[in-house]
Amino acid sequence: MSEMILQVNNLETSFYTHVGEVRAVRDVSFSVKKGEILGIVGESGSGKSTVLLSIMGLLQHPGKVKSGEIIFEGENLTKKSNREMQHIRGRKISMIFQDPMSSLNPVFTVGNQIAETIMTHEHVSRKDANKRVLELLELVRIPSAKSRINCYPHEFSGGMRQRAMIALALACSPEMLLADEPTTALDVTIQAQMMDLLRDIRKETDTTIILVTHDLGVVSEMCDFVQVMYGGRLMEEAPSREIFDTPGHPYTKGLLRSIPNVKKGSRERLKPIEGSPPDLITPFDGCPFAFRCSHTMNLCMEACSSEWKIGDKHRCACHLCNPEVRALLEEGGEN
């Protein structure tokens, strides 16, 4: 049985702005096993990227982890100082950011930036670091890697910059890789290549990967386990196949209805989710999806649902998954 490498318990992350506290992540708990690929999906503003930044300890002012635990290999990262986190970032946990052009330093060569990361964490010579850089650029399949070590980021195409970001993240052989929308702004062919590359890296190095994405197609092909977030909360979690075959939460069903399904034929009209995401400055006590859900009951407006087990590893935070509520509805009970 694979060991648990990361466990997040009751994570609360907020941004303290001049107009009020933005509760970006609310009471989120999950765990990831070593070598697993976890996908986190949801609309923009649902808290996906904030979860990754909280794990990395990279939240900028006015962001702050209010409460909860982030247990990585038995250590609580929320208790670590910034200096202690510097020894963990890059060496044990690395992150692939959404926009490589703004993440790579434009005044240093790509090879120099990767070598600097290696030398900082592993204290090796420049010669050995450069040798490792070449191996990494070849690993991420950058064409003519040897001749591109001394290129600047602007001399790379979008796909090559993303490959360079992956090489930078893998520089010190981390045990966990956090990928925040790694295929944004890339064409479909390059997106597929990026996903194949991440799969190969997991296979060859047994690296644990947490992938944040809007692309449900990527999730279905790549991830072992999927979590659906909305309004800063975790709505549903299940093995990838179960999420697509037997979704439990109305929000998950809405996401799936809004993307093309080749199995059902091209004539089926897509159904967007009506309404807008909730205001996280003044979130109410009920389910964050209640105002957009076609199954909303009075109970949904009063309180968020607990997570209910609807499969072996399938959990859903919806009152409709509560056996007692379902029984009441079947008897004709009121909302």
Tokens 């503003």 locate to 45
Percentage with pLDDT > 90 across the chain:
54
Give the three-state DSSP class for 22: strand
pLDDT at 2: 67
CB 100 within 8 A of CB 149: no
Q: Write the pLDDT tens digit of every residue in 14-25.
A: 999 999 999 999
- Quick one: DSSP state of residue 269? P
Strand partners, 63: 15
Q: CATH class for domain 4-92+174-275? A: alpha beta
Residue of higher predicted confidence among 207 and 334:
207
Q: Which of 58, 163, 159 is nearest to 110 (CA)?
A: 163
Whether pLDDT at 1 is above 70:
no
10 Å Cβ neighbour count for 197?
A: 17
Q: Which of 33, 13, 27, 333 is nearest to 176 (CA)?
A: 33
Per-residue model confidence (pLDDT) at position 196: 85
Closest to 36 (Cα-Cα) out of 182, 196, 206:
206
234 touches 317 (CB < 8 A): yes
List pLDDT tens digits, range 72-126. 999 999 999 989 998 899 889 999 887 777 788 999 999 999 999 899 888 889 9
**Burial group, residue 195, by CB count within 10 angstroms (0-12, 13-18, 19+):** buried
The pLDDT confidence band at residue 258, using thresholds 50, 70 and 90, is confident
Quick count: other Cβ atoms within 10 Å of Cβ 149?
A: 18
Q: Are 192 and 217 in contact (CB under 8 A)?
A: no
Is the per-residue pLDDT at 265 higher than 70? no
pLDDT band at 163 (very low <50, low <70, confident <90, very high): confident
Contact yes or no for 51/28 (Cβ under 8 A): yes
Contact (CB, 8 A) for 50 and 44: no
Residue pair 96/170 in contact by the 8 Å Cβ criterion: no
Beta carbons of 169 and 96 less than 8 angstroms apart? yes
Give the list of residues 6+ apart from residue 267 with CB closer than 8 angstroms, or none.
none
- Comma-separated ranges of CATH 3.40.50.300 domains in the chain: 4-92+174-275
Q: Look at the pTM and tell me if it is higher than 0.85.
A: yes
Q: Is the pLDDT of residue 243 over 80?
A: yes
User: Which is more confidently placed, 46 or 329?
Assistant: 46
The whole-chain average pLDDT of the chain stands at 88
Q: Closest by alpha carbon to 288, among 17, 38, 42?
A: 42
Phi, psi of 17 (to 5 degrees): -100, 175
Is the per-residue pLDDT at 334 higher than 70? no
* 8 Å CB contact between 33 and 224: no
- 3-state class of 95 per DSSP? strand
- What pLDDT does 262 receive? 60
What's residue 185's pLDDT?
65
Nearest alpha-carbon partner for 197 in 221, 164, 226, 163: 163
Pairing of β 63-72 and β 75-76: antiparallel
pLDDT of 214: 83
Instruction: Write out the two tokens for 72.
Output: 């990585």
**Residue 263's pLDDT band (boundaries 50, 70, 90)?**
low
Which pLDDT score, from 0 to 100, does residue 319 have?
A: 92
Write down the pLDDT at residue 66: 94
Both tokens assigned to 65: 């982890």
The pLDDT score that the predictor gives to residue 172 is 87
pLDDT (0 to 100) of residue 11 = 97
Confidence of residue 234 (pLDDT cuts 50, 70, 90): very high
pLDDT of residue 264: 56
